[in-house]
Structure 1
Amino acid sequence: MLGGGLIALDMKSESNDLPKLAMMTKKYSRYAVRLVSLIMNGQIIATIRGIIAYIGVPPVIDNCIAVPLDYAIDKWETPPHIAVICHMYYPDMADEFRGYLLNIPYSFDLFITTDTKEKQLDIQNGFAQWRKGHVDVHVVPNRGRDIAPKLVACKDVYGQYEYFLHIHTKKSPHAESLGEWRTYLLQNLLGSEALVYSVFEAFRVDPDLGMIAPPHYKTLHKRVGWGLNFKQGKDIAMRMGISISKQRSIDFPSGSMFWGRSAALKPLLDCNFMLEEFPAEKKQKDETLAHVIERIYFYSCEKAGFRWVKIVNIIEQNGHIKSAKIDNSEDLKKFIAKGSGLL
């Protein structure tokens, strides 16, 4: 027997009720057709599976360093050697990203990937007057979102630079609640020149610091887990020579934007991913190799012998974040030393 959208008709109803009942029947019939469509293409089942996968996952409290740091920071006498690796699927965001990149107070080389020749030309024109370093824009297949371009197409970049920044023109069209996620990530990584100075102060005071990431976005901190990605995650972990457990807590740079020391990425790079391992783009919401690798970044960092830490721009704080205002380098080093611990 059908439920939900079924309307029971009382044959004794007054005749003037019939138009109203007809309208209601038409309305709920549309819902029924839509429901059948969603079931047939698998969206309902996928959504339910996704929700169930996160049941019981405790909300995450992000312990972060408030940035900019609360003390004067000297510019490095020998500038850090930096590669910014940016996947620009949406070239209309080039101006926005240019503005954020201007907050990096050091010169750096910029490696941009995109998926068509037309986009490549648009991006090259947008960065034609760039003066902070070399700009390389190349075309890659539309596989693996931003992850495959960074780990496959740009694999050889990391050996030439001590530090890197991963960013991309992120959109989440499937969820209105994530509309500001990109801005949130960029504000926490590149929100001001003083903030970027603070990033490199953290790298300076602790040579064992491997990755620096933003906290989870406000609508995501209750869903920080493996979800349906654990089986693939376990396989990737084995390729890296580590063991992971579903019973242990997990953390990762959700959104896949973060600063890093290139050596901290080596265990992942040594997996020698092939482009064909990443599925063709079909607007997948979860369960792809890209979603798995997003959850593996901090494991790679620890496997390589480094620590990781989270930072939060003072203007971006909210309820699930505990931030520490730090006013000296010794306290900064102590805070960093307390973090990590996935392995």
Structure 2
Amino acid sequence: MALPTRLTAISGLGFRSRAYAVHVYQKIATLTIGAIFVSPMGQKLRRRVARFSAPAPRPDVRTALVAHLFYLDLLPELLACRAMLPNGATLHLTVPTDRVEEAQRLVQDVSAVVMHPCDNRGRDIAPFVALLNTGAFDGYDAVLKLHTKRSPHLLDGEIRRKLLFMRLAGERNATWRTLAAFAQPDTGIVGWKACYREAPPYWMSNEPRVRAIAARMDAPKDAVRLGFFEGSMFWFRPAALARLRQLQLTVEDFEPEERQLDGTLHHALERAFTIAARSDGFTVRGLDGRVLT
């Protein structure tokens, strides 16, 4: 089939079919181009290129990193991300209670680390919401949310985590340029556009629950739409999640861990962060600072 005919055939697919085709393409790209990007060779090449980049101005924002440390062996990756933030950025670690002792040993020589023991429930979302509710982030202008995502059920799980870490805080100049978006008071959430999902199939089985959460947040009708960062890793302004905080969800609201792949409260909240931000007039942006509609 000639190329124009192929393009015509693709454009003629239904919306769901096009979304699936894009999803497959992204999987292939992650396993090929993405694998090269995060490889030692790719990292070495990026460091060389970074030397020729004009230095970004130091962002005038108070920053922190919050990360759910489930896999303790991935702590060095989190520390590498923290090193790309402005000096003095605090690292808030949520750690399952049965792993706290070992985690404390691993960070005993690391400065500005705050350990938050938590139940192994609600994946990274429940511990994050618990910290949000306490006001732990109130003193910051921009906070980076990460977690030690492995997704062993996915062929590209390890690569996806490494790509997200590198895109969100893998190089100082790029990180500081991202933080520049928070100089605009309406910036609420900033993430990697390649992980931004707005096609209807990405509701999966969560749409009724997300809409129920939006109703509890008294979200305006125009704010309740699909558009979220898959993997729940992004930069955020604490004030942008005020409506979510007002719900005062507790760990008991989350389902016990049973290796669920969809349909839980934490899957619904993954899709509700942006709704909370948009409800109070905050924008959701890509790493280049452009608003994602």
Band the TM-score falls in, shorter-chain normalisation: 0.7 to 0.9
Structure 1's unaligned 5+ residue stretches are 1-53, 63-67, 312-323, 325-331
Quote the offset at 1:272 in angstroms: 1.0
Within the candidate set 136, 139, 149, 2:117 is matched to 139
Task: Name 1:121's counterpart in structure 2.
Answer: 101
Q: Aligned letter for 1:280?
A: P
Within the candidate set 73, 76, 79, 1:98 is matched to 79
Contact 2:129–2:249 (CA<8 Å) still a contact in 1? yes
Contact 1:265–1:297 (CA<8 Å) still a contact in 2? yes
Q: Aligned letter for 1:207?
A: P
Deviations 1:68-88 (A, max 9, x none): 9x7653214xx5222311110
Quote the offset at 1:215 in angstroms: 2.6
Contact 1:234–1:243 (CA<8 Å) still a contact in 2? no
Distance of 1:208 and 1:256 partners within structure 2: 20
- Evaluate the alpha carbon distance shift between residue 181 and residue 221 of structure 1 in structure 2; reply closer, same or farther with a 3 A threshold: farther
Task: Name 1:265's counterpart in structure 2.
Answer: 241
Seq. identity, %:
27
Distance of 1:226 and 1:111 partners within structure 2: 30
Contact 2:219–2:276 (CA<8 Å) still a contact in 1? no
- Tell me if 1:184 matches 2:163: yes
Quote the offset at 1:57 in angstroms: 7.2
Task: Name 1:107's counterpart in structure 2.
Answer: 88
The alignment partner of 1:273 has SS state of: coil
- Tell me if 1:307 matches 2:275: no
Deviations 1:256-309 (A, max 9, x none): 011111111111111111211100000000000100011111111111211111
The correspondence of residues 208-227 of structure 1 with structure 2, limited to 5 A, is 208-217=186-195, 225-227=202-204
Q: Aligned letter for 2:186?
A: D
Q: Aligned letter for 2:93?
A: I
TM-score, normalised via structure 2 length: 0.76
The alignment partner of 1:180 has SS state of: helix
The alignment partner of 2:105 has SS state of: helix
Within the candidate set 289, 297, 300, 2:265 is matched to 289
Q: Aligned letter for 1:93?
A: L
- Tell me if 1:234 matches 2:205: no
The alignment partner of 1:179 has SS state of: helix
Larger RCO, structure (CA 8 Å, separation 6 or more):
1
Contact 1:166–1:259 (CA<8 Å) still a contact in 2? yes
Distance of 1:125 and 1:223 partners within structure 2: 45
Contact 2:65–2:144 (CA<8 Å) still a contact in 1? yes
Contact 2:220–2:279 (CA<8 Å) still a contact in 1? no
Q: Aligned letter for 1:75?
A: R
- Evaluate the alpha carbon distance shift between residue 257 and residue 105 of structure 1 in structure 2; reply closer, same or farther with a 3 A threshold: same
Contact 2:198–2:228 (CA<8 Å) still a contact in 1? no
Distance of 2:122 and 2:243 partners within structure 1: 19
- Evaluate the alpha carbon distance shift between residue 124 and residue 136 of structure 1 in structure 2; reply closer, same or farther with a 3 A threshold: same
The correspondence of residues 1-343 of structure 1 with structure 2, limited to 5 A, is 55=16, 58=19, 59=22, 72-76=55-59, 79-117=60-98, 119-131=99-111, 134-156=112-134, 157-204=136-183, 206-217=184-195, 225-242=202-219, 250-311=226-287, 336=290, 339-341=291-293
Distance of 2:285 and 2:276 partners within structure 1: 14
Which of the two has higher C-alpha Rg?
A: 1
Distance of 1:264 and 1:153 partners within structure 2: 15
Q: Aligned letter for 2:102?
A: D
- Evaluate the alpha carbon distance shift between residue 73 and residue 169 of structure 1 in structure 2; reply closer, same or farther with a 3 A threshold: same
TM-score, normalised via structure 1 length: 0.66
Distance of 2:166 and 2:200 partners within structure 1: 22
Deviations 1:49-96 (A, max 9, x none): xxxxx955734899xxxxx9x7653214xx522231111011111112
Quote the offset at 1:154 in angstroms: 4.4
Quote the offset at 1:129 in angstroms: 2.1
Structure 1 residue ranges, 4+ long, deviating more than 3 angstroms after superposition? 54-62, 220-224
161-170 or 284-293: bigger deviation: 161-170
Distance of 1:56 and 1:231 partners within structure 2: 23
Count of residue pairs the alignment pairs up: 250
- Evaluate the alpha carbon distance shift between residue 82 and residue 155 of structure 1 in structure 2; reply closer, same or farther with a 3 A threshold: farther
Contact 1:84–1:164 (CA<8 Å) still a contact in 2? yes
- Evaluate the alpha carbon distance shift between residue 104 and residue 83 of structure 1 in structure 2; reply closer, same or farther with a 3 A threshold: closer
Distance of 1:233 and 1:176 partners within structure 2: 28
